[in-house]
Every structure is written in structure tokens, then in C-alpha cells.
Structure 1
Amino acid sequence: MATQTRQLVDLLSAEGHNVHVVQTNSAYSPAWIKKIRGARAIFRLLPYFRKVWQLAGKVNVIHLMANSGWSWQLFSAPVIWIAWIRKTPLIVNYRGGEAPQYFSRSMPWIRPTMKRAVKIVVPSGYLEKVFGEYGFQCEVIPNIVNLERFMPNPAASYKTNSRFTLIVTRNLEPIYGLPTAIKALALAADHIPSIEVLIAGTGPEKERLKNLSKRLGVDDKVHFVGRLGPGEIEKFYQGADVMLNPTTVDNMPNSILEALASCVPVISTNIGGVPYMVEHNNTALLVPVNDEEEMARQILRLYKDDKLREKLIVNGLQEVAQYSWLSVKPLWLSAYNSVQHKLRIN
């Protein structure tokens, strides 16, 4: 969500629009307060609310990037009420992959707040369906992928080096299913001795994943490269043969779009909004959640079947074109224009 926010701000600013950003994670003031667990939340929230209140009286529209759980309760719901009190049109841009679970538990608390928004925008048909089940109408505006950053490597030629490289670009957290990727690699390694997986991300599961790799005898094939910044992540995709997305919860992962734009075939779990983004055997290969055997089988398919690989690459490039700024910009400008002078959704 942070990446999409920065990208949208930069693109709108470049078009000449006056964009103000209020961060939820601004530096603590005074700095020493971050050492006090109970107090630091207050010292972060109060300045955040003050900035939102001040800006709400000056801007034409508030674009709220929203997520599930505590993020919604602490950083989103109060902003919606501030906008409503100050009579500033607000768009909720909801991006929580865990929306079904969160809504089922908390909708009685969510509904009164959500009704104060002028418009709800979601990035996928998946979330549109989830909101529809609770009687909310949404507009779908997809994520943006920078096709000038993420592009095919003109020097790359499949199978010209000695390694068959899988990549994963997810943080090392339980919901992202990294054990499935490692287990799938271990199964595929019996048939592809040159296989390896490079995992870009950080998180609390690193030691557990390392231990799993050792138990499976593939610790020499599993490499943790840490968090990659701009300029590094693009090259990371360009050096890959396959991108794995083994997640157990997801909405619209930008990593899939970045891989497609980089001509890297994708194998993903068929969870959440992923089937709304890509089609099995046409633009990607989809497998059930936590099914390392099926993921390994699809890895072998891509290793052996050059025609399938080429089909996924060509179709993926065509698919990802709809996520360019050229395609998405008119949708956002129309959304902003449509909510001015309105105070709530129907």
C-alpha cells in the first residue's frame, strides 16, 4: 500500500495537481517517546489527527488509503469522521486482503463509519464482490505498475546460464506462505538440480524458514537477499526464470504485475483477488493454498515447456498494459471530480 501511495502522489504531482500527504508513521516528537510503548501511540496519533483536521478545511477531496484491522480502527475510521464533520468529500481506497474475515467480525462497527464516505474505491473485482455482499457499491480502479521501471531484460535469454532461478518478493511473515515455496523447491530439485530460490524481503520468519531449508536439504538452494530498494528490485525480476507468490491471504499483489511487466512467468496461489488479476494457463499458473506438490508440478511445467513459458510471457505483457498510468489516470481524475460537493454515499 505504501508503494502505491508514493507512486500515485508522484504521478499526480507531476501532472500539476496539488497533493498533500499525511503519513501515519511520522517521526516521533520528542524522539525519546518511541521507547515508551503506551505513550508512543498517543504521540503518533494526535499529530496525525491534527494534520488531517487542518487539511480537511483546505482540500477539495481526501483520498484515504485504508486497510483492515487495527489500521482501519486507528488510522482510517477517525479520518472519515473528521472529513464528515468538516464537510470534505472523502474517498475510501480500501486495500485490505483480509477484508472478508475482518468484515465478518466487525461490520456492525464498520458500517456507520463507511457510510460517511462519499465513494469507495477498490483495486480489484475481488474486493468489489466482498463489499457488495454487505450492500456497498464500489468503483474498481486497479493498481498502477510503472512500465518504465519494470520491463523485460533485453539481454536475457532463457536457459543461457547454469541456474534455474525462482524468486519470491514477499516479507517473511506467516501469511505469505514461504514454507510452501521452499517445500515446492525441494520437490522440484529432484528433477532440476540447478534450481534455486531467491527470497527478497524481511520479517520474523527468517530463522524458521532457514531451519526448514536445512531439514529439507536445500539450504544451499535457498537464498535470503533481504529488502531490495528501487533500482535493485527491477534487476531482481530481470534475473529470474519464475516468480512464486505462495501467499495465503492477498488482494491485488503488485509483485505479480511487476513480474508480468518484466516478462517473468508467475506461479501463484489462487487466493483472494489473484484470480481476478490473472487467468490460469493464460497469463499465470495458479495453485491451491499450501499445496507444495502442485506448485512443484507447475515449476516443472515451466522448466520443460518453452511454448507454455512464451505464451505466459506474451499474454502477461498484454494484460499488464491496463495497469499503466496512462490507463489508470483517467479513472482517478474522474473519481475525484465526481465526489466534489458531495457528502456521503447512497
Structure 2
Amino acid sequence: MKKILYIGNKLSSHGLTVTSIETLGTLLEKEGFKLYFASSKKNKAARMLDMFYKTILHSKKVDYVLIDTYSTSNFWYAVIVSQICRLLNVNYIPNLHGGDLPNRLKNNHYLSKLIFRNAFVNIAPSRYLFETFQKAGYTNVKYIPNTIEIDNYPFQSREYDYPRLLWVRSFAKIYNPILAVKVLIEVKKKYPNAILTMVGPKKDESFEETVQFAKESNVEVTFTGRLSKKEWITLSTDFNVFINTTHFDNTPVSVIEAMALGLPVISTNVGGIPYLLTHNQTALLVADDDLKDMVHQIDRLFEEKELANSLSLGAKKMVDNFDWEIVKKEWKSLLK
């Protein structure tokens, strides 16, 4: 039985979004791998110390250290843990999640080489990062997509009477949540009954800013906070448009989930999004922060009667390839 130490932000018990360490980690356990985890510490310094300690503690008994690698401040976890692994002669695998990692490769060239060139293999969950790393000269990169268990996402046809918008993400500036409220304000000019629900935990001050903007604009928005996967899937049955407003991205699981559920997606065309979605075939895409075009694309769903159904069916066909029953073969081949 192969043993893995999984390094990442296991913070759902603190009210934050479930991340790959919990989803992929649980799936790998079901396939017979023995996993150890770090870390569930809420404080960043404590989390780093816990990762440091667990890496040393388990270094002699694990076959691999799997490291969720992000592009913002959590990038430093990967820097430190990867170098400990090198010192202890442990194979480590960066799992590349940060949508802005291409800028890390450019702006932190030396640190990037330390992490990625010395890795056993780098896992890119999007064609976007796979191609970016290859172009940067990294040959030890493998594409294994983000995954979901398709059977947990019942596909459903929607009624297009008026816009019922759903936004699912952590509240962080990089995800541009305030744009969703601006979209609602504009959409309500034509569809007064239009509604917006925003699902996700607070990650930075953008949550308060978004709530305050909605209040000052005298527009009603439902903020649910973090919901469990089951809760937001149940909630999704009442909506007919999924909007993704991010400034940059990789391969967002929430978008994959929305497509599996039959929700037509309207997204900003940034980072890895154009590698995941095709305009007019699997989603409708707009430029970053383009309020006018996002409103226009929403309007198309209600004016072009066959468009929503066509997008939903195209997206579902594509997203079936992300099912764990398919993706797990890649992980098992790599780790065994």
C-alpha cells in the first residue's frame, strides 16, 4: 500500500471552502492509498509549522509528498515543504492550483526552479498550466484534470422565465465578487424579478465590500456563507444561470460542478478558462470585468431560446470526462 503525505489548506472545519486536500485526498483514500494530512491549522504561521513538522515526521514512511501549490501567499508553503523534501530525499509532487502561477514562473524564476525542476512530477489540472509549464522549459509536468464524482451532480433542465443568477466562490478580490452585484443591477432594468444568490465563505475584505455595495445600491442579494457541497447542489435547482466573475483562474471546480448540474455558465475569459470552456458551445465568455457584455450574454439566454439548452448539453458532454472513474486511472498509474 502506497503512503502519501498530502500538504494543503484543510480548513473546511473553520468555515472555509473545501479544497483539493479534502476532495482528492478522500478519493485517493477510497482507492486504497494511506494518507496523512497537513494542515488544518487556521493561523498561517501555525499551519506552516505543522506542515514542516509533519513532513519531517512522516518522511521515512511515505512514498510521496503531494503539495497543493497556489500562486498567492500560500505559494510559500510549497517553497518550504519542497526543499525539506529535497533535504530528506523524499519524492514530492506539486499539484498546481494557482491561476496566477504563470506570473510566479516569470517573477520568481529562481524559487520556481527550486520547486518545480526538482519535483518527481508536477501535476497540472488544466491544459492552461500544462502548456505554460512546458513553454517555460519544465518537462516533468503531467496533465491530470480536476475531478468530481459525476453521480453526485444530477443534471437538470431549467426554466428560463427570468434570470435567477447563482455565484459560488470564496469571497476574495481575485474572484471579483462585486461584479456579480453590478450585473444584477443592470439585469433588473429589463427583468425586475431577477435575483442573485452568492455562495461562499469570506476570504478577505471583498465580502464586506460586496455586501455594502449591494446595500448602498438598494438591491437585494442573498449571501448564504459557506454551504456544504450537498447544500449548494440542492440550492442550485432554483437557479438558471451560473456566473463566474474572476479576474484570473485555473480550472475552477465550481464551474465544472455547475456544468454537471445543467446550469449554463457565463464566465470571464481569463487564465485557464478558455482552455476549459468554448464560447457559444459549452459556455458564454466575456472579457475580464466586462459588465456590459456579461449582461448582454445573460440576456441572450432568455432571448435565444435554444441557446441555453445547447450550452447545457454541450457542457455536460464535455464535463463527463472529469468524472473520478476516468481521472482516477491517471492518479493510480502515477502513484503505483
| Structure 2, gaps ≥5 residues long | 1-8, 10-17
Distance 1:178 1:44, change over 3 A: closer
Q: What amino acid is the match of 1:314?
A: L
1:242 counterpart = 2:241: yes
CA distance in 1, matches of 2:126, 2:255: 13
1:122-201 to 2 correspondence within 5 Å? 122-137=124-139, 138-153=141-156, 157-159=158-160, 164-201=163-200
Deviates more, 1:92-101 or 1:62-71: 62-71
Q: What amino acid is the match of 2:254?
A: S
Bigger relative contact order, structure 1 or 2, given CA contacts below 8 A and separation 6+? 1
Q: 1:10: which partner in 2?
A: 26
Deviation at 1:214, TM superposition (A): 4.1
Q: What amino acid is the match of 1:123?
A: P
Of 62, 73, 81, the residue aligned with 1:59 is 62
Q: Please list the CA deviations of residues 202-223 of structure 1 after superposition, one character each: whole Å capped at 9, or x if unmatched.
A: 3222332233334444x13x22
Q: 2:41: which partner in 1?
A: 26
Please say which structure displays the higher CA radius of gyration.
1
In the superposition, the TM-score normalised over structure 2's length comes to: 0.88
| Structure 1, gaps ≥5 residues long | 28-33, 35-39, 338-346
1:166-315 to 2 correspondence within 5 Å? 166-203=165-202, 204-217=205-218, 219-220=219-220, 222-315=221-314
Distance 1:6 1:105, change over 3 A: same
CA distance in 2, matches of 1:216, 1:47: 44
**Coordinate RMSD, CA, aligned:** 2.0
CA distance in 2, matches of 1:157, 1:68: 36
Distance 1:47 1:248, change over 3 A: closer
Distance 1:69 1:213, change over 3 A: closer
Q: What amino acid is the match of 2:113?
A: R
Q: Secondary structure at the match of 1:19?
A: strand
CA distance in 1, matches of 2:72, 2:224: 30
In the superposition, the TM-score normalised over structure 1's length comes to: 0.86
CA distance in 2, matches of 1:45, 1:175: 23
Aligned length: 317
- Write out the 4+ residue segments of structure 1 that deviate beyond 6 Å after TM superposition: none
| Cα pair 2:79 2:111 within 8 Å, conserved | no
